[in-house]
Structure formats: C-alpha cells, structure tokens
Structure 1
Amino acid sequence: MSTLDDIDRRILKEFQRDAAMALDALGERVGLSRNACWRRVKALEASGVIRARVALLDPAKLGLGLTVFLQIRAARHDAEWLAQFARATRALPEVQGVYRMSGDLDYLIRAQVADMADYDRLYQTLIARVPMGDVSASFVMEEIKHTTELPLTHA
C-alpha cells in the first residue's frame, strides 16, 4: 500500500490504541460502515502496513519487573558471528529487541527480566552461546514513556 488516505490513517490510529475494537465501533469513529472498515483493514493487512494484532501485557504483573538494556561489542565482525548472535538472541524469550547500532557499540538489546538474578542468568546464557567482545548493561529505574504507537504524519 503506497499511499494512505486520511481514513486509513484514522483506522490505524484507532487500531494502534485498541486492535480488538469491534468493526462497528471502528466505523463510528472513522465515519465508515462496518463492511467498508473491514475491507480497509483487510487491505492494510494484505499490504503489510498492519503486520499483526497483538495483546500488550504488563511485565510487572507477570513477574518481569526489570527492564535492561545490554550494550554489546561483537567479538568478531563477520557473517558467521552475526548469524550465531541472531540465532541466540531470537531464541531467548526475555529479549524484546535487538538492534545493530552505529557509533561506539555494535548492538543494543532490550530485555525484560524478573530481577538481577534473572538478568545474570540471561547474561550467562547469552555469553555461553555467543563469544562477545564486551557486554555492559543499564537497568531502567523509571519508565517515563513507552508506547507502541507510531506517528502517522509521514504515512
């Protein structure tokens, strides 16, 4: 889907806040019938603009109250190391995001763990699976803003 119109953007805005919203309610909010909303949503899904509909869970209520950012320097800079690193991080359910970075560090990992002991277990698991050049961690003391909503001004 190359161009989104104003109705598509309104649908996406509503869906980013509540993807379980009934089509009737969505139609009322964006000014379309239920069937017209359904067709638009299906087109947005088919084009890949809507990748998935998920439930956002509260980590603290699931016993995962500590967010950690791991700064990684690669042990090597080759395709084999990167493939091993990608496999290892994808296999760890605590790892919520892995990003290849510019600047002083090579990768940034965001993980959700129960506590420091759980972080240490994650750290030990990761370094056992992949040789690392350097690993440092920063722990979130206060979450000031966290959202999954994307701005739609450029869509």
Structure 2
Amino acid sequence: MNALYELIRACRAGEASYQALVERVPYARFLGIEVANRGQEISFVLPRNADNIGNPTLPALHGGAVAGFMEQSAVIFLLLSMGEPRVPKTIDFTIDYLRAGHFRDTYAECQVTRLGRRVANVQISAWQQRRDEPIALARAHFLLSDENEAP
C-alpha cells in the first residue's frame, strides 16, 4: 500500500502521470479509463471501445460500463483529492441514466461534496459531446479507511 501512496504523492507533485495511478487500479485499466488534467482540473475519458457496447442496434454503451467508468473515476478522483490518501470503499452508488451513451468517447468529472474523516460523498457527471447534456449523473458514498484499519 505504501507504493500506492507514494505514487499518489508523486502525481500531486507533478512527478508522475495521473495515468500511472489508473494503471494501478485493475478495473479502471480494464475499462481503458484515461485521465486528462488541465492545471488543477481533472477529468476522465472512457475511450470508444466495442467491448463496452450493450445495444449493438443503436449502437449504445452498456449501462454497466458507464456506471463502472463513473465509479472508478470517483475512486481515483478521491485518491487524488484527499490530503492523506485513504482507501475509498463504496458504501453506495446511485446513477440516473439520462440518455443513451452512443458509441463514442465518454467524459466524466467529479465533485467531492463532503470529505469527512470516515466518509466521502462524490457527484459524478458523464457526457459525450456537450458537458451540459450529460448521459448520466451519479452520487457515490465511500468509506475511507487507513491501510492499518481492520475491515
């Protein structure tokens, strides 16, 4: 776990790429999530990938791929946002699908609405062509635990 914390510190200091952190999260790596940062702003990209299609007729992204992308984005965002990194464990995740996610790149941004000692709340917005036309909105609650804490 110390290697992960050192990587997070290096990312914050600009000594390592945020993408290196994504590569350490197996499901994020499987989905192909990419991190785009402009100064202090971080956004996430789910590149167009035929493996993520749920409805080949449209074609449209599978809802599970969209939800997984949004949840993993929130986890990575939390890891980068916390003063002292702690492992976020999902308490609950609620998603509202607003429109079909077409077969194209999908983007997400996260906002921490509460960062407490033990619990964090995050809002996630995913869109494709226009930020003001999200394909899904989600809310996630995470339990924050130290590496030495018992489960």
Output the TM-score relative to the length of structure 2.
0.28
Which structure dedicates a bigger proportion of its chain to strand? 2
Relative contact order, higher structure (CA 8 A, sep 6+) = 1
Question: By percentage of residues, which structure has more helix?
Answer: 1
Larger radius of gyration: 1
How high is the TM-score relative to the length of structure 1?
Answer: 0.27
